[in-house]
Amino acid sequence: MTSGAYDPSNIFAKILRGEIPSHRVYEDENTVAFMDVMPQAPGHVLVVPKAPSRNLLDSDPAVLALTISVVQKIACAVKDAFDADGVFVCQFNEPAAGQTVFHLHFHVIPRHEGVALKPHSGKLEDNAVLAANAEKIKAEL
């Protein structure tokens, strides 16, 4: 194993099991996408495979392939929904690289020319704003 063990009590596992709420924008057999509660820009989405893995390092390549195709779908949707100039896709592996939640996830963040990203894991966004942004993205899917 190239990283630590998978802990099924992590917060994204709880979201996947429906034990805590999320603003979902997309779901299929293998993957869920929901709004990041501390967005680095409006429209910041997390794409999460249902299969348990801690991060990229211990993932099944077949799961990765399914997940990245959803990342592409969501990236196109957030670009359109927020009339963005570009889309930032990123993913952290282990604490030294900035990972704070230990279930594999990809960040998908719309970017506008000249607008800086807010800090990673910064301020909690209002639920109403997250809900409205989720609706905008769903309308493009």
Q: Catalytic site residues?
A: 105
Q: Report phi then psi at 6, rounded to 5.
A: -80, 130
Which runs of E-coded beta strand occur in 14-129?
24-27, 31-35, 45-49, 86-90, 106-111
Name the minimum Å distance from CB 3 to ligand AMP: 13
| Binding-residue total with ligand AMP (CB under 6 A) | 13
Stretch of residues binding ligand AMP (CB under 6 A), selected from 36-44, 58-66, 71-79, 110-118: 36-44
**Of 52, 7, 8, 56, the residue nearest 32 (C-alpha):** 52
**CB nearer to ligand AMP: pick between 11 and 51:** 11
Q: Given the structure tokens 């959803």, which residue do they identify?
A: 70
Q: Which is nearer to ligand AMP, 72 or 121 (CB)?
A: 121
Task: Enumerate residues 43-72 that contact ligand AMP by CB under 6 A.
Answer: 46
- In angstroms, rounded to a whole number, what is the distance separating the alpha carbons of residues 49 and 63? 7
Q: Does 99 bind ligand AMP (CB under 6 A)?
A: yes
**Which among 31-39, 57-65, 74-82, 111-119 is the span making contact with ligand AMP, rule CB under 6 A?**
31-39
Contact 55, 100 (CB under 8 A): no
Check binding of 129 to ligand AMP (CB under 6 A): no
